Structure 1
Amino acid sequence: MTIPLPTLRQLRFLVTLADEGNFSRAAEICHVTQPTLSAAIKELEATLGVTLVERGARGATLTPAGEAALDRARSTLAEAEDLVQAARAAGEPLCGPFRLGVIPTIAPFLLPKLLPLLSNAHPKLKLYLREDLTDRLLEGLRSRNLDAALIALPYEAAGIEAISVGSDEFLFAAAPDHPLAQKATISASDLSNEKLLMLEDGHCLRDHALAVCTAAASRSDFAATSLHTLAQMVKSGLGATLLPRLAVEGGVTDGLGLVVKPFTPAIVGREIGIAWRRGSAREAEAKLIAKTLDGLV
């Protein structure tokens, strides 16, 4: 005996209704009329033999059975999307939509070089970009809201795989009148008594800088939200900082008159990598993007 199965359309309606909590808004998002969406939900309830939605004057609320069905519906829709993407990638990789996340300390300096290369090599690619902190990008990978993410390594995260595309060196940056700006060479040990400016908590670059000089950085009394702000604060004489070479070459210190110099020996601050959800159908395409990045970092 064949068991009646819900359709993907019905499951999508259920997920949208759960997200919006309102039949009218859910119908608008799904590009159907409200009666059409309502009828589809009733058909789904009849197929499953349970009430999924409590309908009220203030909107729609899922029943316990509806909440249980919602989790499976999201998973089923995600698997169906993976099937479509895997089939497309097998026929022509990086064709159609691809959702790429990038951390803020990489995005403005690497994307201007990467995007033209991707566009030329894969003209049918429709790239959707999201700039955010690492934790939220990784959650986006796990929830299948992102296909891949450019992040800084090392970064341990369950269910996530990544490969390195290059190393990013730390450079010392200070105003011209800073004592260390006068030195011919500078080493990590020179920072032991310095007040270093850092990015605010949540930026992985802060963690990488702290790993280089924990004692000095812990005394910083200013936390910037971006590398551009950080460079401006250094210009104002609030202290020195460590900047990734990628950002310096991308122009973050241009026109500020700062003294920027490498360490001796060089300090590799981080690895730039591309990450994806383990088992994702977009893994091969993420690795293609990694190849495109070869030589850019």
Structure 2
Amino acid sequence: MSRPTVAQLRAFLALAEHLHFRDAAAALRMSQPALSGAVAALEETLNTRLVERTTRRVLLTPAGERVARRAERVLGELDRLVEEVRAAGGPLVGPLRLGVIPTVAPYLLPVVLPRLAAEFPDLELTVHEEQTDAIIAELVAGRLDVVVFAPPSPVPGVTELTLYDEDFVLVAPRSYELPGVLPRTALNDLDVILLNEGHCLRDQALDVCRQVGARAAAATYATSLATLVQLVSGGLGVTLVPETALPVETRRAPGLEAHRFAAPAPYRRIGLGYRASSPRAAEFEALAAVVRSAVDGDSATEVRVRGRGE
């Protein structure tokens, strides 16, 4: 008697989650025909219809609902088995799927990746860059092992290790002639440009503005920090940039000045997150230690590295 394969179950579970062939295929990083073929093969193996295909979306049949629930448990147990075996083989050996938010990845990875390669040569690292909600969803679903993000997690079940705190710095056109050190209330007289919705950095910047009653420029948003800084360079307003991004982004744009805030300065916290059920906690503690050490040794930026439990 033939049995479903792991690939078939993963394909069907992704389809059950997204209820759309294109979105499910994108989530698994496979082609849509390959995903459709895997689901069809699973239906043939089980000799039952699992999905109802309409012109706009996919619906699960009653049998499909039952298979999806069971497949989630089966694949969860399989992932835990693999994690336990990897953990027994030594710290940070073999595949590790890392998610990183876009406002951290370009500035942290160049500092951390060489250190990881030197200290853990048998680590097989893959990196996925996406906004917080997306990488946390991938983490909880078992498609990522660990994430670097700005805590807290939007969902329960994620263990968080603090890595470092970094101040926000106000970036403005040089023509604004602002003092070098600013009180937060200076934001009241400025148009603050933000990232688009979905970026946690946008929410953090809005929080800083709300604390002093400042407004954000309603008509101007950007999809990346690089674009945000270029807009400021073009005279469209000011923005808040995290310390680690400052050297990279201000180097690309002319006519800018960075202004730090008077103490206590607004800041954000960056942490490492993993599933609370993962047996690889010791490995992720080791990973966090490497990240802290690499950041602490980077002379280009000023951050406050935090130890375990802070």
Q: TM-score range by the shorter chain?
A: 0.7 to 0.9
Matched ranges for 1:87-166 at <5 A: 87-166=85-164
Residue 97 of structure 2 aligns with an amino acid whose one-letter code is: R
The answer to whether the aligner puts 1:254 opposite 2:254 as a matched pair is: no
Using a 3 Å threshold, how does the CA distance of structure 1 residues 118 and 177 change in structure 2: closer, same or farther?
same
How far, CA to CA, are the matches of 1:185 and 1:26 in structure 2?
56
How far, CA to CA, are the matches of 1:210 and 1:77 in structure 2?
40
Question: What is the DSSP-based 3-state SS (H/G/I as helix, E as strand, rest coil) of the residue aligned with 2:214?
Answer: helix
Which of 232, 235, 238 is residue 234 of structure 1 equivalent to?
Answer: 232
Which of 25, 32, 54 is residue 34 of structure 2 equivalent to?
Answer: 25
Pairwise CA distance, 1:52: 5.3
Matched ranges for 1:1-297 at <5 A: 10=5, 12-16=7-11, 19=15, 25=34, 41-42=44-45, 44=46, 51=48, 53=50, 63-180=61-178, 183-214=179-210, 215-249=213-247, 251-255=248-252, 256-295=254-293, 296=295, 297=303
Moved more, 222-231 or 263-272: 263-272
Pairwise CA distance, 1:17: 5.4
Pairwise CA distance, 1:235: 0.5
How far, CA to CA, are the matches of 2:135 and 2:276 in structure 1?
14
Residue 187 of structure 1 aligns with an amino acid whose one-letter code is: P
Using a 3 Å threshold, how does the CA distance of structure 1 residues 171 and 105 change in structure 2: closer, same or farther?
same
Residue 76 of structure 2 aligns with an amino acid whose one-letter code is: A
How far, CA to CA, are the matches of 2:77 and 2:145 in structure 1?
13
Question: What residue number does 1:48 align with?
Answer: none
Q: Write the deviation string for residues 132-175 of structure 1: whole angstroms up to 9, x where unpaired.
A: 11011111111111111100124442222211100011111111
TM-score (ref. length: structure 2): 0.78
Q: Is the 8 A contact 2:193 2:216 kept in 1?
A: no
Q: Which ranges of structure 1 fall in alignment gaps of 5 or more residues?
A: 46-50
Using a 3 Å threshold, how does the CA distance of structure 1 residues 164 and 229 change in structure 2: closer, same or farther?
same
TM-score (ref. length: structure 1): 0.81
Q: Is the 8 A contact 2:180 2:260 kept in 1?
A: no
Pairwise CA distance, 1:29: 6.6
Pairwise CA distance, 1:289: 1.4
Q: Is the 8 A contact 1:164 1:274 kept in 2?
A: yes
Using a 3 Å threshold, how does the CA distance of structure 1 residues 64 and 230 change in structure 2: closer, same or farther?
same
Q: Is the 8 A contact 1:13 1:41 kept in 2?
A: no
How far, CA to CA, are the matches of 1:134 and 1:103 in structure 2?
6
Moved more, 9-18 or 84-93: 9-18
Pairwise CA distance, 1:282: 3.1
How far, CA to CA, are the matches of 1:121 and 1:190 in structure 2?
45
Using a 3 Å threshold, how does the CA distance of structure 1 residues 76 and 260 change in structure 2: closer, same or farther?
same
Of all paired residues, the percent bearing the same amino acid is 35
Q: Is the 8 A contact 2:170 2:239 kept in 1?
A: yes
Using a 3 Å threshold, how does the CA distance of structure 1 residues 268 and 54 change in structure 2: closer, same or farther?
closer
Using a 3 Å threshold, how does the CA distance of structure 1 residues 136 and 156 change in structure 2: closer, same or farther?
closer
RMSD (Å), alpha carbons: 3.1
Pairwise CA distance, 1:70: 2.4
Question: What is the DSSP-based 3-state SS (H/G/I as helix, E as strand, rest coil) of the residue aligned with 1:242?
Answer: strand
Q: Which has the greater radius of gyration?
A: 1
Pairwise CA distance, 1:198: 1.1
The runs of at least 4 aligned residues of structure 1 exceeding 6 Å deviation read: 27-30
